[in-house]
Structure formats: structure tokens, C-alpha cells
């Protein structure tokens, strides 16, 4: 295991509108992200607020935003808005 495991605590939260806007922007900016989300995740429930995490990638200043639920796991599927552009499970 890596030291990234300790970074599972939420960093902040955002409103449902902020979350949706961020994910929509990331999907529009990143080729293939929409297809990845369609394949690997299922739509979120309706919530007023969503957690945001700091990206665990070294030197990446990004934050992780909820994009869906992992298709086969009980976890949130999150997308980094920073330079690494990775997706994670939370």
C-alpha cells in the first residue's frame, strides 16, 4: 500500500450545482472522460452537498469531484480537476 491511503478524509464539500458544473466542464475538456464515466460508473443519487477530496497524486494541485458510483464497488467514482486528470474511487 502507498502513503496515499491516509488521504481519504474529505477536504471540503460543494453543492450539487457546483459538482454538476465541474463534472460537466471536465467532461467537455477531456476526450474520453464521458465514455469512461458511462462504462465505469452509474449516476449519483440526489444530494444537496457532495464531498470533495484533495488529489493524492504527487505534485497535482487538483481536487476530486464525485462523478458517479463505481459500477461494481460500493464507492464513489471521483475525477481530479487538476493536472493529473485521473479518476479514483472514494
State yes or no: residue 70 binds Zn ion (CB under 5 A): no
- Shortest Å distance, C-beta 84 to Zn ion: 3
State yes or no: residue 60 binds Zn ion (CB under 5 A): yes
Q: Which of 23, 26, 37, 55 binds Zn ion (CB under 5 A)?
A: 55
Q: Could you tell me how many residues of this chain bind Zn ion (CB under 5 A)?
A: 7
Cell of 80: 481530479
Residue with cell 464521458: 34
Q: With helix as H, strand as E and coil as C, how does 6-50 read?
A: HHHCCCEEEEHHHHHHHHHHHHHHCCCHHHHHHHHEECCCCCCEE
Q: Which of 69, 80, 87, 88 binds Zn ion (CB under 5 A)?
A: 80
State yes or no: residue 36 binds Zn ion (CB under 5 A): no
68 near 88, Cβ under 8 Å? no
Please give the residue ranges that form the binding site for Zn ion (CB under 5 A).
Answer: 55, 57, 60, 62, 80, 82, 84
Amino acid at each position: 500500500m502507498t502513503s496515499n491511503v491516509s488521504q481519504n478524509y474529505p477536504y471540503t464539500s460543494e453543492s450539487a450545482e457546483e459538482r454538476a458544473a465541474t463534472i460537466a466542464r471536465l467532461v467537455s475538456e477531456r476526450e474520453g472522460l464521458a465514455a469512461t464515466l458511462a462504462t465505469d460508473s452509474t449516476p449519483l443519487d440526489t444530494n444537496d452537498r457532495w464531498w470533495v477530496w484533495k488529489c493524492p497524486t504527487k505534485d497535482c494541485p487538483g481536487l476530486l469531484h464525485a462523478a458517479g458510483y463505481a459500477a461494481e464497488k460500493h464507492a464513489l467514482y471521483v475525477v481530479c480537476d487538476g493536472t493529473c486528470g485521473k479518476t479514483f474511487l472514494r
